[in-house]
Amino acid sequence: MFSDDRGVGVAGFSDYFRFKMIYKTGITWVDLDMVCLNYFNIDSDYLFIKEKIKNGNEYYEQITTSMMKFPAGSEFGEYLITESEKLISNRKVIPWGIIGPEFLNKACIEKDLEQYALGYLEACQISYYEVEKFVLKNTNLDISQKCLHLYNEMWRGIGINKNNIYNKNSIYEKLKNKYRVYEILDDLNLKSTKNYLEILKILWKFSKIRVYVRNPKRILKTLTLRK
């Protein structure tokens, strides 16, 4: 067992674990915060998904570790494990992300497996840097796509409580109703509540008003442009 030097502490170990699990079993790995939107075929030997990455003002697609499949005992699986162990180097604490999505993306490109990756719109149409869209009302969602990554850890990082009840027209509430989450909670004698203060904090954090209050010069600039 080893830890990361930041974050939740087990992200690196989780990546290493899934590489070894798939290598030994050939079973598809799917993160618990992935939602299946429609049936799709995963009979191919390999399966990966891409996410949209933001780097400053630049955007690009990259294979991520949230869903993956490769054959048991495969050369690719052995390569992932061997290269991971070189980076881990028997340490109890490793740098965050060194065997994460960038590592897997590079390995897939080197082994010519990028062709087996779903595009980001098919699996991660709402990106990790815009997770507020899951809980705010009237965000468009293409329900014809295959699946959706909710990026649970990013919610925690910016203070969005997944146990809250949000606007009925939000993606999160529509998904909970589609998959009868409230019925399951009732069976378990558990309750979700509307914490209005937390919801107001989220609305304020991502509102345009906040941007102008924090940067009053933008108000003058906007008014000037409109003239």
Domain chopping of the chain, boundaries: 3-123, 128-226
How far, in whole angstroms, is CA 98 from its chain's centroid?
17
Backbone angles phi, psi at 162, to 5 degrees: -70, -15
Q: What is the pLDDT of residue 178?
A: 93
Q: What is the pLDDT of residue 212?
A: 54
Q: What is the pLDDT of residue 11?
A: 87
Residue 72, helix vs strand vs coil:
coil
Q: What is the pLDDT of residue 109?
A: 98
Residue 63, helix vs strand vs coil:
strand
Mean pLDDT of successive 10-residue segments in the chain (227 residues)?
80 94 97 95 94 94 97 98 96 91 97 97 96 92 96 89 92 94 90 80 70 56 53
Q: What is the pLDDT of residue 81?
A: 98
What is the distance in angstroms between the CA of the first residue and the CA of the last residue of the chain? 62
**What is the C-alpha to C-alpha distance for residues 35 and 27, in angstroms, rounded to an integer?**
18
* DSSP per-residue letters across 164-216: B---TTBHHHHHHHHTTHHHHHHHTT---B--HHHHHHHHHHT-HHHHHHH-T
pLDDT by residue (tens digit) across 52-62? 999 999 999 99
**What is the C-alpha to C-alpha distance for residues 100 and 79, in angstroms, rounded to an integer?**
14
pTM: 0.84
